[in-house]
Amino acid sequence: MQSVQFPAGDETKFYQTLRSRVDNYFKTNNVSKFGGMKMVSKTIAMLLIYFVPYGLIISSLTSNIWLLLLLVVVMGIGLAGIGLSIMHDANHGAYSKDRKWNKAIGYVLNVVGGNSITWRIQHNVLHHSFTNIEGHDEDIDPAGMLRFSPHAKLRKIHRFQHLYAWLFYGLMTFTWIINKDFSQLYRYKKRGLLKGFQTTYTKELVVLIVTKVLYWGYIFLAPYLILSQSMGLTWWQVFLGVFIMHYVAGIILALVFQPAHVMSDCDYPLPNDDSQMEENWAIHQLRTTCNFAKNNLPLSWYVGGLNFQIEHHLFPDVSHVHYRKISNIVKNTAEEFNLPYYQKKTFTGAIIAHFGFLKELGRPAAKPKIA
């Protein structure tokens, strides 16, 4: 796979102007681009949403199966919240100005079943660098049952993907704890992508195995040993609880991330024969990204500001707590340079539009925007 190259210059001066204005916002208001106490308080909140229900489950304070199910669902909400609001900023280096803190907080992903290094490669390197570019952005390269790009192979089953996609969306985090992290780590080793992180395959494989064993120990083995004695639950019932938790988290994460790029508004540009893109990286981000529900404050808080996906892609090193404030700067600058700024008014509208686009992608005659 040849590396895609974007034009080095900013011929329109768009990003140069935008960066200057955003930097001036932080300087004028004497505000750090990092998260500060807002991120600390959110970290505590999300960890409590995840671990308090867990503590109640293993304490055997209740034997009501429906209450246990509710606690599992709440854990799923907390799991997604940790991914959206804590580890996401940290693994982008936006949580704190201290790199050690960012790295430490980023490992929260390992604590809840994922893997920091594989996530950073897939998300930071491949997705953020090559957004919506077929063959390079793994976020639009799911299993064969789903088609997220007009350039991907069209299968007969895809005509129904708008009906069954959510079934696969729920498996997102569950595949992490089963096999995806292992296959990704090996694939990234073969592609030489680990070198940029100053680590080795052996080291990361050891970390991966150890953290997976510890995760399965506290999320499945401990509850099974306790609940089988106190309630007579079987191993498969406890495993079902783990699956439901991950399914809830997977649905939430998918419904936040997919409407940000897999939309009819967004472009799917391809490099030329020399692996060169026509437009520079910043303009590429505008054309391939969509915001939604900018006025929904509770949603913005929970999803880590990722409804402001344009701001996140243009300034991934800025904490999400600032996205709302800088969004008008980005929007106005884009309009000044006659560039797109895609957004949907509501979260529901974004989801409907996403599934409508999935339906379009499942049709042979569909001709989504590609440039």
Query: pLDDT tens for residues 267-323?
Result: 999 999 889 999 999 999 999 999 999 999 999 999 999 999 999 999 999 999 999
Domain count, the chain: 1
The candidate with the shortest Cα–Cα distance to 58, out of 212, 228, 244, is 228
Q: Say if 30 falls within a structural domain.
A: no
pLDDT of residue 369: 57
Q: At residue 47, does pLDDT exceed 90?
A: yes
Residue 104 lies in a domain: yes
- Cα distance between residue 304 and residue 81, in whole Å: 8
**Joined tokens for residue 169:** 């969306």
Domain range enclosing 49: 36-287+350-361
| CB-based contacts of 165, cutoff 8 Å, min separation 6 | 146, 355, 358
Percentage of residues in the chain with pLDDT exceeding 70? 98
Residue 344 has pLDDT above 70, yes or no: yes
Q: Does 5 fall in a domain?
A: no
Amino acid at 302: Y
Please tell me the predicted confidence (pLDDT) of residue 327: 98
pLDDT band at 326 (very low <50, low <70, confident <90, very high): very high
Residue 321 lies in a domain: no
Domain for residue 98, yes or no?
yes
Supply the pLDDT for residue 10: 76
Instruction: Give the 3-state secondary structure of 159-195.
Output: HHHHHHHHHHHCCHHHHHHHHHHHHHHHHHHHCCCCH
Is 294 inside a domain boundary? no
Cα Rg of the chain (Å, integer): 21
Question: Letter for the amino acid at 165?
Answer: A
**pLDDT tens, residue by residue, 106-160:** 999 999 999 999 999 999 999 999 999 999 999 999 878 999 999 999 999 999 9
Instruction: Find, among 82, 107, 54, the residue nearest to 222 by Cα.
Output: 54
Decide if pLDDT at 219 tops 60: yes
Contact 118, 336 (CB under 8 A): no
Element (H, E) at 146: none
pLDDT of residue 365: 62
Joined together, the tokens standing for residue 58 give 């293993």
pLDDT level of residue 370 (50, 70, 90 thresholds): low
Query: Does the pLDDT of residue 371 top 80, yes or no?
Result: no
Q: What is the predicted pLDDT for the residue at 238? A: 97
Question: CA end-to-end span of the chain, whole Å?
Answer: 21
Q: Which pLDDT belongs to residue 2?
A: 60
Q: Mean pLDDT over residues 232-240, rounded? A: 96
Average pLDDT over residues 99-110: 96
CA distance 243 to 195: 34
Computed over every residue of the chain, the mean pLDDT equals 95
| 106 in Cβ contact with 91 (< 8 Å) | yes
DSSP of 267-286? ------TTSB-SS-HHHHHH
- Residues in a beta bridge with 292: 344
Alpha carbon distance 55, 214 (integer Å): 17
List Cβ neighbours of 37 (8 Å cut-off, separation of 6 or more): none
Q: How far apart are CA 31 and CA 26, in angstroms?
A: 5
Q: How far apart are CA 308 and CA 289, in angstroms?
A: 10
Residue 236 lies in a domain: yes
324, part of any domain: no
User: Can you give the pLDDT at residue 366?
Assistant: 52
Q: What Cα–Cα distance (Å) separates residue 350 from each residue in 195, 266, 304, 307?
A: 38, 12, 17, 10
Helix (H, G, I), strand (E, B) or coil at 342: strand
3-class SS string, 12-23: CCHHHHHHHHHH
Residue 364 has pLDDT above 90, yes or no: no
Mean pLDDT of 173-186: 95
3-state secondary structure of 291: strand
C-alpha–C-alpha distance, residues 321 and 256, integer Å: 17
Contacting residues for 126 by C-beta, under 8 A, at least 6 apart: 136, 137, 138, 139
